[in-house]
A and B are shown apart, each in its own frame.
Chain A
Amino acid sequence: MAEATVNTSAAPAAATGARAHEPSFVYLVKDALATGAIALALAFPLVGFRTVDRGSTTIIETRFGQMFLGVAVIALGRFAFSLIDAGYARAILAGSGVLSVAWLLLVAVDPGGAAIFPLGWMSWMLVVSVALRAAYVSWGDRSEARGDAVSPGDRVAATVQRLAVFFGPVLLLFAIAMPLLPMADQRWVDLGILVLTYVMLGWGLNVVVGLAGLLDLGYVAFYAVGAYSYAIIAKTFGLNFWEALPMAGGLAAMFGVLLGFPVLRLRGDYLAIVTLGFGEIVRVVLLNWNELSNGPKGIGEIPRPSFFGMPFTPAPPQGVTSFHQWFSAHLWEIGFSPIQRAVYLYYIILLLALLTNIFTLRIRKLPIGRAWEALREDEIACRALGINPTNTKLTAFAIGAMFGGFAGSFFATRQGFISPESFNFIESAIILAIVVLGGMGSQIGVVIASIVLIGGPEWFRDLESYRMLAFGGLMVLIMIWRPQGLLAFREPTILLKPKAGPP
């Protein structure tokens, strides 16, 4: 096979470093300039001006410096990318690699040095992204020349999936031990809670999107329903968290069925649009139905979770033992600290997330779970096999919504205050991004994607206002290298001989 392709014109070129055709520099320069011109046309109104509030008047400031800088970066980046594609990948790799290392060294010598560069850390990230692309092109071409069907990314993903057998428990042990580690301060535990909340939401949405293949852009609606149900039930009936939780989950599941009915016959884009609308409707209703939801002011003083009836407060009312008093009396002496409640919340969300995961792993092996996956693959074949698509879709919506509702209840009890503000479309988008980036249907992928997407912006905090830009850049990079998601490698649910893995 390899010999047969040598005679085609592309093969020798690929073998000698991918110099597909001699690039005309004039053409590349023109191309880069044209890109810059388009960027300029876009940036002129968007970046070039900004409005500033000066007391009673609004004035317009110009930012042409920043604008030209950005345009220059885009044109240069385009030029670098076309050089890479024209067969100079190695040269660009060397150049950008040296530049980025030099940049790091400079900053290491003088920590304030990053400020010299016009975009701070961003300039480094840009150079690194060029280097990564160059590396990818030179490596990617090589594996093609060898005739490998499976890309290196796929092999890594398959390995990670297989290692998940060991990696999963390690991650779990870390998650259990994390709040007890010496480095775990309030910030760490809070970040852990945040990441775990999104892991749970990701796992819940994974049932709908990953397994059943129903693109749901309004998942935040169920998160909101869960949060408001919990807040209202707990406040009105004086129930505690564990009593109100199943009711909130059940209500969210009912909303899942409610959404499911009208969209039964929709697929793909149309389904996405209707679910998006559903998410907005729920938010707008919450915003306007003052009697129920207290409108934009939101609901406050939501009961905080208590540890078997013991609250986490420094000075509990007469006759009530608070957690730290009980702990001091029975185990060892501790004072009150707000971190105790944070740690408790952390374990609650860990437990809820694990429940979601175990449930999903189990149900994948049951007929209903298999029907979900089959429905994602081929609805007509499903019908021919006696699957009832209506029930199958509705259960997927209901169960996904139920987990969203649980997560919402947790959110409400953790915050103590909720308002429609917290349930914007952007939340749906983030949760969906977690599922898609994780590789639809991959459980461990959701964990990794949550850590990257939720933890990432926190780690990029030093970048200050460029934080979201860096975050967006990271997403673009993932989309370039793993458009199918980080771990899009489906584990079979049934193997006859335990050792006989997929070939």
Chain B
Amino acid sequence: MTAMGSSQLTPLQRIELEAVAAAVQAQFGSGISVERGSRGVALAIRLNEANVLAALSKALFWDIGCSFGGLIVEELSDRWRLSYLFLASGSGWIEVVLEVPAAVQAVPSISAEVHAADWFERETEDLFGLRFEGHPRLGDFILHDQIWPEGVAPHRKPQRRSVNVHQMHFRRRPNPDWRPLLVVQDPGSFAMPVGPVYEGGIGESLHFMLETVGEDVLRAVPRLFYKFRAVEKIAEGQQVSDVLLLAERFAATSSFAHSLAFSLAVERICALEVPKRAANLRVLLAELERLRHHAGAITGICESTALAVAASQAAIIEERLLRASCEFAGHRYLFGLNTPGGLRRDFVSRDFENLTGAVDRAVEDLHVLEDRLHFTSSFLDRLEDVGVVDPSKARDLNLVGPVGRASGRGHDLRRECPYGGYDGYTFETPREAEGDGYARLRVLFQEGYASAGLIHQAVERMEPGPVAAPCDSFVAGAALGWAEAPIGSALHWIRLDGSGVVERYRAITASFNNWLGFHAAVEDFAFQDFPIILATFGLSATECDR
């Protein structure tokens, strides 16, 4: 089945930056100026006029074949700076920069062309009050309209510069007339509310409206951002070291990847050279986190199909990995390890031995589990053809991470845009074409094995030396850092002033990206499949909400 699936996959193609530059210049001429990017960005395209934005995005995404990375909005002193990130596979990030005067209140929307930009634009509108012309569904996104009146833009710079985030205050006004936007118009249809306090034990705070006429769910609309804590706003005005704590703690299940991406960005700004040993250790820890995360995701899938024994065994594997992480690094979720310049501590070879022993054992157990699951038809029946996202839809919605890879996407930043010492490592990035729940499960297992392989390689490559370059002085500037978190790509954009104070912090997460894909892709399913679809997507609300 895997072989059959693979045959349908289109091979991944490298996109050359020169070709991109030539193509867009030919098409848009004086509307844009193309220049070499810096600090994490490979190519910067500046827009001279706003109205080519949509066409340019379309050309980059659809004609040239880049994937969409996200939107970074900055409110500079006199102007808005909007930077749309596109990933040229194998070559790096392309930044499309639109700068408009501060007085401007609306910019063109690209959501009709690049669907993946939908939520980014809604987010910006809610938090900055910047409208996107042509976007049909702005508002009621992060600031729920039940609580928040229109016109609140909490991420704008406060009028008085001295006000910090702890003193900011916004008017709230409970709105009893709020109505959900329901689109199913079948006679007798209704929306079944699920959450935010879950009716099924432990779950993150999410709220779903399952639009249905009974039995079949025609559309599932997630209402997220119950957990929105304004991480990006809190970071503003804080020292890098404090923001690092925040970056590490807003999404703990991939905390190492986020602190890594953050550190990489700071290292780019300050031009720090990370020692070899630190780079290898980072690979090791990031892959340990991935392995543990995937074991947890597999547990979730087994639980969702009510296969209790398998769920228990997967949970044991996960807990063992948590314990191994704690034994190795002092923290079960790998907090407090990354720092700009490298790692905060070193390890001795005994540590590595213990760790690889634990990892090997976990892989062995995972193999046994996978074999058994493969022969449990009742389990497979519930996963196969459930929550299908076909490759074209996955491309359309720009799915990233294991979910994207199960739908034929080749998006893996470790390979497409190597960072932090991954070059020189050999590993497989599994891809599947079916895009159903089972494909996602297979991808999780394969990636788990690949991570174990990477851990071994990292241990083998470990060479003595310092684990951190000293980072004592900061330079002003902005840079992009990225990492392939277990759930998918994580992008952190930081602008620092000269004293190491963060002026703008932007975290773009895979969950944010994939939640949009989730609800657009999943239509028309049986109600009892809902937990399974949710589990196979394995998305995190906290990572999305920030």
A and B from one assembly? no
Question: Which residues does B use to contact A, with CB under 8 Å?
Answer: none
Question: Which residues does A use to contact B, with CB under 8 Å?
Answer: none
